[in-house]
Structure 1
Amino acid sequence: MKSYQFLIFAVLLFLSSCKLPVSKAEKSKPLISYVDPFIGTGGHGHTYPGATRPFGMMQLSPDTRLDGWDGCSGYHYSDSHMYGFSHTHLSGTGVSDYGDILLMPTNEVVFNNGADGKKGYRSHFSHENEVAEPGYYKVFLDDTKTEVELTVSERSGKHKYTFQEGAKQIVILDLVHRDEVLDAKIVLESNTQIYGYRHSKAWAQDQRLYYDMIFSKPYTKVTFLDDNKEGENVKAAFEFDASTGNILEVTIGISAVDEDGALHNWQLEIGDKSFEELKTEVQGVWEKQLEKIIVESDNEVYKTNFYTSLYHTMIAPNVYSDVDGRYRGMDLKVHQAKDYQYYTVFSLWDTYRAAHPLYTIIEQERTNHFIKTFIAKYKEGGIMPIWDLSANYTGCMIGYHAVPVIADAYLKGIKDYDVNKAFEAMKHSANQDKLGLKFYKEFGYIPVEKESESVSKTLEYAYDDWSIAQMAKSLGKEEDYKTFLERGQYYKNSYDPESMFMRGRFRNSWFAPFDPYEVNFNYTEANSWQYSFYAPQDISGLMKLMGGKEQLESQLDKLFGAKKETSGRNQADITGLIGQYAHGNEPSHHMAYMYNFVNKPHKTQEKVHQILTELYKDTPDGISGNEDCGQMSAWYVLSSLGFYSVTPASNQYIIGTPLFKKATINLENGNAFTILADSVSESNKYIKSVKLNGKKYPYSYLNHDDIINGVNLAFEMTDKPTGWATKDKHIPVTEIKEHQIVPAPFIANGDIAFKGSTKVTLQSVSKESEIYYTLGNDYIKYEQPFEISEKSILKTYASKDDKKSAVITTTFYKIDPNVKIDLKTKYANQYNAGGDNALIDGIVGTEDFRTGTWQGYWDEDVVAIVDLGKSKKMSSVEVNFLRDQRSWIFLPTNVEIYHSLDGKRFQKIEDWKSPKPQNTDEVMIQTVKTRQTINSRYIKVVAKKLGKLPEWHLGYKHDGRSWIFIDEIQIK
């Protein structure tokens, strides 16, 4: 799989010119030899094995897969056919994009890629003939007997093709490869140089990439597909004279700005350097980069996992500005970066947790560039990125996590940017009205019926707001500090004291039936188990809600000891399970460290060691979930060193357990932070004692300043739990003490839609607060449950001392007690819309199915019978169905409506046929309505499923089946 034939002498020469901090750290061989880029290319890691430079614009890598979830990076280790080699790739994402400008050497002019099983330019290959190293990739193509080698600079790269002696030499340029092409062009500048562009649409809706490439020898003939040099279907075949030698090199530069940018990028970065010179240079850069942390151990697997992880943290975000500083901004216009490099690919929902805190240690100058980039994106596009990709806001994931990245850096002394503008952008992000923020600001939580993923958004917004408060306090902005510290406590409004879980508030009652194992629309890529421990800014406050340290510890024990299975909708991201702890997805990443907060650090040590040694392997499927642009690997890097960033912007790291006998972090300020672990081994995973600069250190947390000042941290390890760091004065504390809020009360019992009457019980998570309510004009103090027997509007709030919560308004609906509904098929609990009476409760669904107002049925017909209690005259029957095909929700193929006087003999009064499903992302509500006046008692609705998804749908290849979403059978 790997080759260790490195040009060590050249690498050492290169390093001799680099000013590295003086350190006694020792490496027995080049650190790049420990990096295995194939790790993560199997399973669901979604990484790529090709050549790239640290944080580089170009990712020159092989393409073995054209689509599908496990094809997000363009390569999967289980594949055996190579389509070619493109110049942009994403590392570990859950959505596909990139794969731009494919080149493929072959022996004949053929434009079909062969994916359809017909003759094409793709070739079989074997992993035995494949090599991947930092900055270098090589493979042998079996079908054409051609060897391919790839290497790169920052914005440019080289291909080296060694054809079989005497074979035809043809290179296919495919600008159609992978995502939808909006426009493409090839310009023949000469018989050795071509240039052009490719504009495409995928995750990024308008990606613009320009290229300039030069061949090492002239082509003798060029053939275009359909004679087209530009348009949406541009491919070309370049033929070369085999008599001039069997080696062909292609040098290429890319740019998001224009063709001149692409030309200048390769000219200034590569120029006339040979392939070997470029390879030596990039591997020297990688060696220097990896030397930022030197670990020493006799365990070669641990070192491979460590340096591969460190490597993975350094391949994104990606430089997006050209050598002259020009770049394409979020307004798709060209801008100039004068004193920094501009970046893209910020997977912030993932990377704010550990990757960016790692960068504040080993990439401080680059962190300044990241934040300058955030500010620029704010100026260009009106908001800081949540998940930006190639000058596009993708709208992916939740939170506004550029905010804690800035706060964490600022509070650690990284301030080489416009601090006031950064703070302005942070507040701007938090004060939007979209993505549920309007309701979050008004109520202190996001109601289920107002916004999807309401629990996760509430919790993550609260953490982001707390980080704004910390920066505001440092800047002396007291009013902002108060506002955002209060908002940092809004997580309390999602806590259900009875179940001890974070739950969705549906019409101010708890979403029910409740199953903490259920993956549903209240959470982001998770269930309640995996979000109920998320209040890293106020773990003491969360602990108080749960009833104290013992209760929090008990809940953590239950988390790690729970059954592994989840219920509800399938969520491919929930992997790497230890109980319901899901290491393959980010919301779980801090949980193992929470035992330190309850005086049980040995449990943290056990769990962290288990994760490090069981969920990271030196195999293609060695990452337990999507790599997510460095976050999975950053967790490993930090945790294997012995600490983790549970609460970025607190300037503290929580100590876990070290994996290496010695580790040295070489800092940009010239200091070296050294970690020693005496007697560490597979069994000696427990900490017996710690010394900081030779002095006894009884605390189970570490301060950022200690790292940056370059102290020595020495662990004494043993094979049994000890009493180290178990006293209250030695444990970490994250706590919000000032500006305490009063959580909003909730409806603990009572039906929002009821027959006859319903008894309402109000409750608050704050036992000290008083609750007030009104069903009319005057508020009265809540003393005991009360009864509602008519349609009513309930308003309620809680108060304590001189503070009060938000006022929460809930409408109660009275269902005609004579009307009954008999559901012949069972809805999915996660889409229950309030229960059995949801289709007759008078509440009509909106266009967002995730707000809980629709009843969902998976892969089955819907049959429902409404009994009006007695025969009535009715002018129409209306039934609503939702279409949201991106979410696999299709209209029924046909809807039949019947009526009956006796409930036995039914007569059809409507037979609606759905048009054939078309490939569209448009969301719509379809109303099916009868057209005749009748006297009847019973109405039966039959909605027929589509079943297997159409061939054009993404789910077709996975044998996907359709959902029917129905709401409100209205009889008028």
Structure 2
Amino acid sequence: MHRPSILRVLASLVILGSTASMLAASPAESIDWVNPLIGTAKGKIGYGGTMPFVTPPFGMTDWTPQTRQNKISVVSYNYDDKTVSGFMGTHQPAIWMGDYGYVTLMPEIGDVKTTPEERKLPFNHAHEVSHPDFYSVVLDAGDGKQIFSEMTATERCGYMRFTFPADTAGRILIEASRPGHAGYVSVDEASHEITGYNPDRMDAHLGPAALKNFKGYFVVQFRQAFQKADTYGMDDAQAGHARGAYASFAPSKGKLTVEVRVGTSFISVDQARANLKEEIPEWNFEKVRLALRQTWNAKLDRIEVQGASDEARRTVYTAAYHALLYPRVFSEYGRYYSAFDDTIHNGESYTSYSIWDTFRAENSMLTLLAPERVDGMITALLQDYREGGWMPKWPNPGYTNIMIATHADSLVAEAFRKGFHGFDRELAWKAVYKDAMTPPDGDTTRRWADREPHTPYEARAGLTYYKELGYIPTDKTAEAASSTLEDSYDDWCVAQVAKALGKEKDYEFFLHRSLNYRNLYNPADGLMRGKTSDGKWASEDAGWTEGNAWVYTWAPLHDEAGILNLMGGASAYNAKLDQHFAGGHNVHNNEPSHHYGYLYDFSGEPWKTQAKVREIAAAEYAGQPVGLDGDDDCGQMSAWYLFTALGLYPVNPASGDYMIGSPLFSRMSLRLANGKRFTVIADNNSSANVYIQSATLNGKPLSNPVIRYEDIMAGSTLHFVMGPKPSHWAAEWRAKAIQ
């Protein structure tokens, strides 16, 4: 029987300290500033949509305590819950998406309890510790008995350790599937192993493919020999029940510690076992945790902040943690399962791109914090195109048809603009050209409603009309007005790819077509408005996606100067923005509003941008469980904060331009992958001194509220002097129209 060492016991006593006391101490390393519980609670700021994952950056499988049964619109952990019903290897990337191929483990004493309601145990946040490399909690098993549960992880595997009371038999339950779902599990007592698979895809109804070969495979290995092991729910008579297995362990005179390692795969059980052998070759929990800790520090150490309160510093590093979770790795040592043709391929793959959200700032942040991943991420999108016919909007892990437009075009254009070359550039052109020119199947016979089940891939819904009329009519296609505006931006992105490849005629064509958004400007009210197929203005609320005319009027990211001209000049543009904010139309918890605070930069009133972005940051982010507006949308909410903390934001991410806001701290820097350091210094910075009085870039006066990607990558120093009143710094600068 394996027994914990005296060092382990001492470490456990430290871990049992309250989360609050640990956070109050002075963290020794960057990872210690991360609080994965931020965003998990419902409160003034958020609604509880993130999960406290133990996983490396971009990990294939995330490990989290389960306080409720997750599903579309419900995540597995909520800070307000009082019980834990499992410890889960999940692939659910966001609250509005479903999970797939998941596996759940739960420690028990007493009778076998297979349902979540039966097996749940109370816990207290005072005995809970959450870090990116480690999670632990004390579970109240009744009659004064407690089960101490710990987790750490690797890219595709989890490592758990459960400590049971003295003189008490322990049990580990493995749930392969939930009631009403298929699944399989098998016990091999000789090898101390339980294997199985879970074919559930909660979003299966949203895509065109059945994916008959899809399974989330797992291998669960125990360090100790079983006293008893068995399956449950596997016979036909119990088909409506959950399916799984359990392993029981004999009591010990001292506390019983059971160690468990779990390999996951989307290729096979054998591959899950191989992943375990590669990533956790020995039984050494502390070694695995230390490796994960070092992996996170290597990334988080690239951010340095001075002049921040402890809470603000915690917000910064937790935002970086969130921004480095997605897209997730989906390949397994040179092979991957494709959810686009339902077969296995050689190569590298990623999934969980929430592209409608993340193209705005998250992807741009990855080009700075994780540039070594960008070529692989673009290649993965191109493989999806090759295997399924299109680059996806929201792969989870296959087509889901969620949201509008084809903003993978923006990711490709941004990679071209920033000089990434490790992907097939001609294949990239074919993919973006198809997005721009080929309507989806049944384009004129479908409404393409949001989350419409069992449809062909949506691509640019209504493209047939867009090509004919210069806009998408609201009486023919759902979300038509929003799609027209966002398709115009994607046309601009396709034009940039064409230009980079020397395709001058295509460049001119798509650049001109990117002005189609102008067809929806209604001078009568100074806002964009949907149109019907006969050219008439639609009703005010027709044709929008998660918003209205106020939310979408400034959506064409590529031509704010053009919008300014449509409105009649800078004064009218600024007045309309003033109305937007005063009227409560800027809903920051949804992405279409994310760039709005920065728009005064384009129209000669940058001091309003400086005040507004500070206001939004203070209202929407904090270093507490309620400190994020719930749904982080795969890092986009967090990327907005990181850029805003630096004093920058990529309003048009594929342009390589970063508009200047108001830096949150006296000094913040990024250590870049090329060995250089980009530093932002803000003298006299405070919560009152939000206004830029003067600025220099590498010691030279900066008179425009914009810097370029090249300025960052060169390792520049951006130096501001801040003050309590607006100044006329950069007030003379105006954006130029695209033509």
TM-score for both structures, normalised by structure 2? 0.89
Q: Determine the structure 1 residue equivalent to 2:405.
A: 399
Q: Judge conservation of contact 2:67–2:86 (CA < 8 Å) in 1.
A: yes
Distance in 2 (CA, whole Å) between partners of 1:416 and 1:330 is 22
Distance in 2 (CA, whole Å) between partners of 1:559 and 1:625 is 23
Can you list the C-alpha shifts for 1:524-564, whole angstroms capped at 9, x where unaligned?
A: 111221111111111111111111111110110001101xx
Letter in 1 for 2:629: S
Q: Determine the structure 1 residue equivalent to 2:645.
A: 640
Match among 618, 621, 624 for residue 619 of structure 1: 624
Letter in 1 for 2:40: T
Q: Judge conservation of contact 2:27–2:33 (CA < 8 Å) in 1.
A: no
Distance in 2 (CA, whole Å) between partners of 1:28 and 1:427 is 50
| Helix, strand or coil at the partner of 2:494 | helix
Match among 228, 243, 257 for residue 234 of structure 1: 243
Greater helix share, 1 or 2?
Answer: 2
| Helix, strand or coil at the partner of 2:332 | coil
Q: Determine the structure 2 residue equivalent to 1:490.
A: 516
Pairs within 5 Å for 1:474-513: 474-510=500-536, 513=539
Structure 1 residue 226: Cα displacement: 4.1
Unaligned runs of 5+ in 1: 9-26, 515-519, 563-578, 738-972
Structure 1 residue 224: Cα displacement: 2.5
Q: Judge conservation of contact 2:106–2:173 (CA < 8 Å) in 1.
A: yes
Distance in 1 (CA, whole Å) between partners of 2:517 and 2:316 is 35
| Helix, strand or coil at the partner of 1:426 | helix
| Helix, strand or coil at the partner of 2:483 | helix
Q: Determine the structure 2 residue equivalent to 1:282.
A: 292
Q: Determine the structure 2 residue equivalent to 1:171.
A: 172
Q: Judge conservation of contact 1:660–1:680 (CA < 8 Å) in 2.
A: yes
Q: Do structure 1's residue 351 and structure 2's residue 352 form an aligned pair?
A: no
Structure 1 residue 295: Cα displacement: 1.4
Can you list the C-alpha shifts for 1:240-289, whole angstroms capped at 9, x where unaligned?
A: 11238510011011011111111111111111041111111101111111
Structure 1 residue 452: Cα displacement: 0.3
Q: Determine the structure 1 residue equivalent to 2:31.
A: 32
Q: 1:657 to 1:101 in 2, by over 3 A?
A: same
Distance in 2 (CA, whole Å) between partners of 1:187 and 1:451 is 52
Q: 1:227 to 1:655 in 2, by over 3 A?
A: closer
Q: Judge conservation of contact 2:130–2:136 (CA < 8 Å) in 1.
A: yes
Distance in 2 (CA, whole Å) between partners of 1:342 and 1:250 is 28
| Helix, strand or coil at the partner of 2:19 | coil
Q: 1:480 to 1:187 in 2, by over 3 A?
A: farther
Q: Judge conservation of contact 1:309–1:634 (CA < 8 Å) in 2.
A: yes
Compare 188-197 and 707-716 and name the one that shifted more: 188-197
Structure 1 residue 388: Cα displacement: 0.2
Q: Judge conservation of contact 1:583–1:589 (CA < 8 Å) in 2.
A: yes
Q: 1:406 to 1:379 in 2, by over 3 A?
A: same
Q: Determine the structure 1 residue equivalent to 2:393.
A: 386
Q: Do structure 1's residue 140 and structure 2's residue 143 form an aligned pair?
A: no
Q: Judge conservation of contact 1:183–1:231 (CA < 8 Å) in 2.
A: no
Match among 216, 220, 224 for residue 217 of structure 1: 224
Distance in 1 (CA, whole Å) between partners of 2:533 and 2:430 is 34
Q: Do structure 1's residue 429 and structure 2's residue 427 form an aligned pair?
A: no
Structure 1 residue 45: Cα displacement: 4.3
Distance in 2 (CA, whole Å) between partners of 1:226 and 1:695 is 71
Distance in 1 (CA, whole Å) between partners of 2:652 and 2:127 is 45
Q: Judge conservation of contact 1:313–1:634 (CA < 8 Å) in 2.
A: yes
Structure 1 residue 581: Cα displacement: 0.3
Q: Determine the structure 2 residue equivalent to 1:188.
A: 188
Compare 446-455 and 233-242 and name the one that shifted more: 233-242
Distance in 1 (CA, whole Å) between partners of 2:462 and 2:192 is 55
Letter in 1 for 2:67: T
Can you list the C-alpha shifts for 1:292-311, whole angstroms capped at 9, x where unaligned?
A: 22112241111111110011
Match among 657, 663, 668 for residue 662 of structure 2: 657
TM-score for both structures, normalised by structure 1? 0.68
Q: Judge conservation of contact 2:656–2:709 (CA < 8 Å) in 1.
A: yes
| Helix, strand or coil at the partner of 1:388 | coil
Q: Do structure 1's residue 440 and structure 2's residue 472 form an aligned pair?
A: no
| Helix, strand or coil at the partner of 2:498 | helix
Letter in 1 for 2:123: F
Q: 1:273 to 1:662 in 2, by over 3 A?
A: farther
Distance in 2 (CA, whole Å) between partners of 1:450 and 1:521 is 11
- If asked which structure has higher relative contact order (CA below 8 Å, sep 6+), I would say 2
Identity within the alignment, %: 35
Q: Determine the structure 1 residue equivalent to 2:711.
A: 706
Q: Determine the structure 2 residue equivalent to 1:777.
A: none
Q: Determine the structure 1 residue equivalent to 2:550.
A: 529
Can you list the C-alpha shifts for 1:335-370, whole angstroms capped at 9, x where unaligned?
A: 011xxx311100000000000011112221201110
Q: Judge conservation of contact 2:679–2:718 (CA < 8 Å) in 1.
A: yes
Structure 1 residue 59: Cα displacement: 0.5
Can you list the C-alpha shifts for 1:410-444, whole angstroms capped at 9, x where unaligned?
A: 11111211111111111112222122111112211
| Helix, strand or coil at the partner of 1:489 | helix
Greater strand share, 1 or 2?
Answer: 1
Q: 1:46 to 1:646 in 2, by over 3 A?
A: same
Q: Judge conservation of contact 1:173–1:235 (CA < 8 Å) in 2.
A: yes
Q: Judge conservation of contact 2:531–2:538 (CA < 8 Å) in 1.
A: no
Which is higher, the Rg of structure 1 or of structure 2? 1
Unaligned runs of 5+ in 2: 1-17, 206-210, 441-460
Q: 1:5 to 1:581 in 2, by over 3 A?
A: closer
Pairs within 5 Å for 1:47-196: 47-67=50-70, 71=74, 73-98=75-100, 100-115=102-117, 120-143=118-141, 145-177=146-178, 181-188=181-188, 190-196=190-196
Q: Determine the structure 2 residue equivalent to 1:373.
A: 380
Q: Determine the structure 2 residue equivalent to 1:735.
A: 737
Pairs within 5 Å for 1:775-790: none
Q: Judge conservation of contact 2:678–2:717 (CA < 8 Å) in 1.
A: yes
Compare 606-615 and 222-231 and name the one that shifted more: 222-231
| Helix, strand or coil at the partner of 2:599 | helix
Pairs within 5 Å for 1:888-927: none
Structure 1 residue 77: Cα displacement: 1.1
Distance in 2 (CA, whole Å) between partners of 1:324 and 1:415 is 20
Q: Do structure 1's residue 598 and structure 2's residue 596 form an aligned pair?
A: no
Q: Determine the structure 2 residue equivalent to 1:854.
A: none
Q: 1:641 to 1:82 in 2, by over 3 A?
A: same
Q: 1:112 to 1:326 in 2, by over 3 A?
A: closer
Distance in 2 (CA, whole Å) between partners of 1:538 and 1:348 is 21
| Helix, strand or coil at the partner of 2:38 | coil
Can you list the C-alpha shifts for 1:676-696, whole angstroms capped at 9, x where unaligned?
A: 111111011110111111111
Q: 1:89 to 1:46 in 2, by over 3 A?
A: farther
Q: Do structure 1's residue 717 and structure 2's residue 722 form an aligned pair?
A: yes
Can you list the C-alpha shifts for 1:899-942, whole angstroms capped at 9, x where unaligned?
A: xxxxxxxxxxxxxxxxxxxxxxxxxxxxxxxxxxxxxxxxxxxx
| Helix, strand or coil at the partner of 2:551 | coil
Pairs within 5 Å for 1:8-27: none
Q: Judge conservation of contact 2:36–2:132 (CA < 8 Å) in 1.
A: yes
Distance in 2 (CA, whole Å) between partners of 1:682 and 1:361 is 27
Distance in 1 (CA, whole Å) between partners of 2:536 and 2:468 is 19
Q: Judge conservation of contact 2:178–2:243 (CA < 8 Å) in 1.
A: no
Compare 600-609 and 230-239 and name the one that shifted more: 230-239
**In angstroms, what is the RMSD of aligned CA positions?**
2.1
Q: Judge conservation of contact 1:74–1:99 (CA < 8 Å) in 2.
A: no
Q: Judge conservation of contact 1:4–1:33 (CA < 8 Å) in 2.
A: no
Q: 1:4 to 1:328 in 2, by over 3 A?
A: farther
Q: Determine the structure 2 residue equivalent to 1:958.
A: none
Can you list the C-alpha shifts for 1:125-152, whole angstroms capped at 9, x where unaligned?
A: 1111111011211111113510110000
Q: Judge conservation of contact 2:679–2:716 (CA < 8 Å) in 1.
A: yes
Q: Determine the structure 2 residue equivalent to 1:631.
A: 636
